[in-house]
A and B are shown apart, each in its own frame.
Chain A
Amino acid sequence: MDILFFLVLFPLAAAALLLILPNNAIRSIIVWFSSIVLTAATIYLTFLYFDKGTIYFNFDMALVNELMLVIEAILAIFIFAVGLKYKKYLASILITLQAPLIIWFELTYGHALRPEHNLFLDNFSLIMALIIGIIGSLICVYALGYMKDFHNHHHEMKDKRNVFFFIMFIFLSAMFGLVFSNNLIWLYFFWEITTLCSFLLIGYTKTTEAVNNAFLAIIMNLLGGLAFAGAIVYMYFAAGIIELDKLITFVGQGNMMLLLPVALLSFAGITKAAQMPFSSWLLGAMVAPTPTSALLHSSTMVKAGVYLVVRLAPALMGTFVGEMVALVGGVTFLLASCIAISQTNAKRVLAYSTVANLGLIVACGGIGTAEAVWAAILLIIFHAIAKSLLFLCVGTVEHKIGSRDIEDMDNLIARMPKIAVMMVIGIAGMFLAPFGMLISKWAALKAFIDTSFILVGLLSFGSAATLFFWTKWMGKLIAMVNQKEQLETTVSGSEWVPLYLHAFLTIVVCLAFPLVSSTLIEPYLIPIFGKVATLGQGNMLIMVMMLAVVVLLPLGMMSGSKGTKIVPVYMGGGNLDAYTKFQGPLGMVVNLAMRNYYMDQFFGEKKLALLGVILCTSLFLVTIFWMFGVGII
């Protein structure tokens, strides 16, 4: 149990140090050191517990509860005040609704509460901890180099890197706490801290846009927080429990009244995971510095949302609420994938893809069968690695080419070969056989097919859209013009290491996927569902195929071109040089330009996002009516 505390408290200590020691060299040392320690600790934790099943820790200390209460009150006041200061009254209103509720609840009933287990640890928590520990640490290291560049590019901004790293490490601590908590009040506490961290980091640059988007994020997340608080209070009054495990067990035993807190918690998960109609906050969050996007808004914090939904999967399985949750996820997957086609800003593409994949995970969680949960956990793992790799690559590229527009990334393979290859790995990792996300999608399809044909349809169409926007991006990267301009030399070491490790992990986790499944995921599934899911014999084949690609890619590039004459491209006979210029009218020398298709008339953001809001909101309404109808409310 000590190691759990260590994982929560150590980042806190690091954060405190980083805040008070604003010296670049010292900061660098602290970040490197804490990252290595955290990574080692999570790996150690895994070795310690991966075969132990679910372990509950009966840790109880009044002081902790009181401390949490005080911090919550302070945070509430802070949010209320900032809301007033920036005239975002909705944020203030929402916090005045939920904070008094939870504080009142804790003050009046808190002492009577004696949760059986405040903390727990199972393989799902372990997986989350691994993601937070390893990916999180790597991103923090990356942020060292990135933020230095960032402030070199943005002299107009005050260098508040100490605050930045402070929040990053606080966030890590909160995430660890979140995945280990069984007591929902604790979970709620960490949940609110991550919301606040996200708020502060989105608003880091303090531009009008950043502030607006930060408030958008916090307002939507507070909505979820309100539902969360409501769920806790309701649970207590309805069944006298505030533990996650008990909630699931009770629902499993047929206590239908507890479907309401399950629905409320799923709603909280959906807001956090930026599902439609709440997807806009995640898009807005892309104004934050890229490490923030990588850590909070793709690989970990938004995963907390789906973590909760997947946790609740056994309770959601087979219920109407579950179906509705799954549909929200499915619709979000399809529409977000389609919208991504119309986006040209790399970070927005990544954001929409994140929303889409989270949708898929939510859909799996809503379905809640063993196969679906298996697929969901695979998606969480693979998505965290590949997406964070892509964010980091985009961050580095942005600083070197001065743009995060995909259209500016043509010929990157010549200008920044290593980064381009890593991006290609990341992109392939996101949608292509034999990489991780495709394996997961495959699993998801197999999970859906026996339960919901609508989801099969949504997945079929959605993955077709994914294919389009990823491939066209990849095409931009690998377009070759023999051009020698080199931009890669100035990328700092603290960026290279995480990049390499991410790329390495993307491939290795794919290779080790059967091992990951059998040692980490299946032990989680068996006690809950009594069975496991696999992909069958195809697994082996897919592995062979995967290996073949990984080996062939570099080999083929080197050897396949022997004896080949290099010729100019075809330009209707009007070539002025081999690759880019042709003779135009009016005596002009015209440069070729090739820009991807965005198909606004089909996949326009406004139209589809509106459609998503309407569809998903109506799904919520239907759920509420249904609950009225069957008397849950």
Chain B
Amino acid sequence: MTTTAITAIIVILYLIGAPILGGILAGLDRIITARMQGRYGPPVWQPFYDVLKLMSKEKAAVNKTQNFYVFCFLLFMIFTGAVFFAGGDLLLVLFALTLASIFLVLGAFSSNSPYSFIGAERELIQTMAYEPMVLITAAGMYLATKSFFVADIAAFSTPLIYYLPGIFIGFVYILTIKFRKSPFDLSTSHHAHQELVKGLTTEFSGPTLAMIEIAHWYENIFLLGIVYLFFAFNPLLGVIVALLTYFLEILIDNSNARVTWQLTMKSAWIVAATLGMANLIIVFFKLSV
């Protein structure tokens, strides 16, 4: 088989598999979370029930343009993952990811509703908080492998984690923001009782909310894909570490209060500037000598 065909198969697998896998992970998340809280928790298929339920609800929006942004969010989130799993340029992937997130934020802005608005502002703060670390991760991977292409990075024979331990920790740190897990679930929270009601997603309902959910599944799989890259020299280990990371995030979620946006931003930038940059410098000199 040609590499193109293999790439095509992987992308198709991603397009079909990611929401299923993402949904199951979300279901497991809810069960594990429930167990950590001394509860039994919903069935593992619950996220799918939720999305299917949302699909059968009435379509509504506060204005005509709002749902369009969410559609773009979903579209570009899928696109991001597709380019990633096709082995494309990591920087392009990250820029597409940013574009996708911006669409969600714009959707919230366009609704002009107080809690959406604050959610949007906070989402932007979060984006600003994690963005440097994400770019540094890509830069670190490039310095270690001399390529920005995911395919080359994945095929790199030495364990990437060996070169990039600091960047890995930094990335897991900001992954908490991306997964919208406590302590960094500022803009919108999975759980009911937040000062922002539902923040970013307050004005999205029914099928539109279902789109956001699905986009998150795609996003989560893609993010775990980046975690996988650090351990890609051994695919099985890569998958295990990705799952362990997800479990770790659930654990963090359940053992922390939500922190303020100030601390979120400060700490994410400090982590990026210390762990990330230090690791980058070491790799830069170690590999250039």
User: In the complex, are the beta carbons of B88 and A541 less than 8 A apart?
Assistant: yes
User: In the complex, are the beta carbons of B99 and A480 less than 8 A apart?
Assistant: no
User: In the complex, are the beta carbons of A480 and B102 less than 8 A apart?
Assistant: no
**Within the complex, what minimum Cβ distance (angstroms) separates B104 from chain A?**
11
A418 within 8 A of partner (CB)? no
Q: Which of B28-36, B45-53, B123-131 contacts A (4 or more CB under 8 A)?
A: B123-131
> In the complex, which residues 543-590 of chain A have their Cβ closer than 8 Å to any Cβ of chain B?
545, 548-549, 552, 556-557, 560-561, 563-572, 578-579
B143 within 8 A of partner (CB)? yes
User: In the complex, are the beta carbons of B148 and A446 less than 8 A apart?
Assistant: yes
User: In the complex, are the beta carbons of B95 and A442 less than 8 A apart?
Assistant: yes
Q: 0/1 per residue, B239-280, Cβ < 8 Å to A?
A: 000000000000000000000001001100100110001001
User: In the complex, are the beta carbons of A570 and B72 less than 8 A apart?
Assistant: no
Q: Which of A457-465, A498-506, A619-627 contacts B (4 or more CB under 8 A)?
A: A457-465
User: In the complex, are the beta carbons of B92 and A569 less than 8 A apart?
Assistant: no
Highest count of chain B CB atoms <10 Å: which of A461, A542, A578: A461
Known: A538-B89, A556-B72, A568-B62. A480 touches B139 (CB 8 A): no
**Within the complex, what minimum Cβ distance (angstroms) separates B271 from chain A?**
12
Partner of A480, one of B58, B88, B112, B136: B112
Q: 0/1 per residue, A432-468, Cβ < 8 Å to B?
A: 1110001000100110010001001101110111011
A463 proximity list for chain B (CB < 8 A): 131, 135
User: In the complex, are the beta carbons of B139 and A464 less than 8 A apart?
Assistant: no
Q: 0/1 per residue, B55-86, Cβ < 8 Å to A?
A: 00011111111111001100110010001000
Bound together, the chains give a CA A563 to CA B277 distance in angstroms of 51
Partner of B67, one of A464, A536, A552, A564: A564
Report, as a range, how many residues of chain B touch the other chain: 35 or more
User: In the complex, are the beta carbons of B59 and A597 less than 8 A apart?
Assistant: no
19 A-B pairs, CB-CB below 8 angstroms? A445-B135, A449-B142, A456-B135, A464-B127, A467-B127, A474-B109, A476-B109, A479-B111, A479-B117, A538-B89, A541-B83, A541-B88, A556-B68, A566-B64, A567-B60, A570-B203, A578-B62, A594-B117, A602-B265
**Which chain A residue has the least Cβ–Cβ distance from B285?**
A453
Partner of B92, one of A471, A481, A538: A538
B125 proximity list for chain A (CB < 8 A): 468, 597
B91 within 8 A of partner (CB)? yes
A596 within 8 A of partner (CB)? yes
Bound together, the chains give a CA A442 to CA B143 distance in angstroms of 16
Known: A442-B91, A568-B62. A460 touches B135 (CB 8 A): yes
User: In the complex, are the beta carbons of A542 and B92 less than 8 A apart?
Assistant: yes
User: In the complex, are the beta carbons of A460 and B113 less than 8 A apart?
Assistant: no
User: In the complex, are the beta carbons of A565 and B58 less than 8 A apart?
Assistant: yes
Known: A456-B136, A479-B109, A541-B83. A594 touches B114 (CB 8 A): yes
Bound together, the chains give a CA A567 to CA B58 distance in angstroms of 11
> In the complex, which residues 125-168 of chain B have their Cβ closer than 8 Å to any Cβ of chain A?
125, 127-129, 131-133, 135-136, 139, 142-143, 148
**Within the complex, what minimum Cβ distance (angstroms) separates A563 from chain B?**
6
Known: A475-B109, A561-B61, A594-B114. A538 touches B88 (CB 8 A): yes
Bound together, the chains give a CA A549 to CA B185 distance in angstroms of 29
Known: A463-B131, A467-B98. A566 touches B62 (CB 8 A): yes
**Within the complex, what minimum Cβ distance (angstroms) separates A418 from chain B?**
15
> In the complex, which residues 95-117 of chain A have their Cβ closer than 8 Å to any Cβ of chain B?
none
Known: A461-B269, A463-B135. A433 touches B96 (CB 8 A): yes
**Within the complex, what minimum Cβ distance (angstroms) separates B49 from chain A?**
24
Partner of B109, one of A478, A569, A572: A478
Bound together, the chains give a CA A570 to CA B205 distance in angstroms of 12
> In the complex, which residues 495-550 of chain A have their Cβ closer than 8 Å to any Cβ of chain B?
535-538, 541-542, 545, 548-549
A482 within 8 A of partner (CB)? yes
B169 proximity list for chain A (CB < 8 A): none
User: In the complex, are the beta carbons of A457 and B105 less than 8 A apart?
Assistant: no
**Within the complex, what minimum Cβ distance (angstroms) separates A189 from chain B?**
43
Bound together, the chains give a CA A542 to CA B112 distance in angstroms of 31
B209 proximity list for chain A (CB < 8 A): none
**Within the complex, what minimum Cβ distance (angstroms) separates B276 from chain A?**
8
Q: 0/1 per residue, B195-218, Cβ < 8 Å to A?
A: 001000011000000000000000
A61 within 8 A of partner (CB)? no
A480 proximity list for chain B (CB < 8 A): 62-66, 110-112
**Within the complex, what minimum Cβ distance (angstroms) separates B82 from chain A?**
10
Known: A449-B139, A453-B277, A538-B92. A569 touches B203 (CB 8 A): yes
Q: 0/1 per residue, B205-237, Cβ < 8 Å to A?
A: 000000000000000000000000000000000
User: In the complex, are the beta carbons of B136 and A571 less than 8 A apart?
Assistant: no
**Within the complex, what minimum Cβ distance (angstroms) separates A464 from chain B?**
4
Q: 0/1 per residue, A228-268, Cβ < 8 Å to B?
A: 00000000000000000000000000000000000000000
Bound together, the chains give a CA A98 to CA B135 distance in angstroms of 45
B106 within 8 A of partner (CB)? yes
User: In the complex, are the beta carbons of A541 and B136 less than 8 A apart?
Assistant: no
A472 within 8 A of partner (CB)? yes
**Within the complex, what minimum Cβ distance (angstroms) separates A607 from chain B?**
15
Q: Which A-B residue pairs are the 4 nearest by beta carbons?
A: A475-B109, A569-B113, A464-B131, A433-B95
**Which chain A residue has the least Cβ–Cβ distance from B205?**
A567
Known: A479-B110, A480-B112, A557-B68. A563 touches B136 (CB 8 A): no
Known: A480-B110, A571-B114. A597 touches B277 (CB 8 A): no
B113 proximity list for chain A (CB < 8 A): 569-571
**Within the complex, what minimum Cβ distance (angstroms) separates B145 from chain A?**
12
**Within the complex, what minimum Cβ distance (angstroms) separates B224 from chain A?**
22
Bound together, the chains give a CA A568 to CA B100 distance in angstroms of 26
Bound together, the chains give a CA A541 to CA B76 distance in angstroms of 12
B64 proximity list for chain A (CB < 8 A): 480, 557, 560-561, 564, 566
Bound together, the chains give a CA A596 to CA B99 distance in angstroms of 20
User: In the complex, are the beta carbons of A560 and B62 less than 8 A apart?
Assistant: no
User: In the complex, are the beta carbons of A556 and B71 less than 8 A apart?
Assistant: yes
B184 within 8 A of partner (CB)? no
**Within the complex, what minimum Cβ distance (angstroms) separates A568 from chain B?**
7
Bound together, the chains give a CA A565 to CA B62 distance in angstroms of 8
A48 proximity list for chain B (CB < 8 A): none
> In the complex, which residues 328-353 of chain A have their Cβ closer than 8 Å to any Cβ of chain B?
none
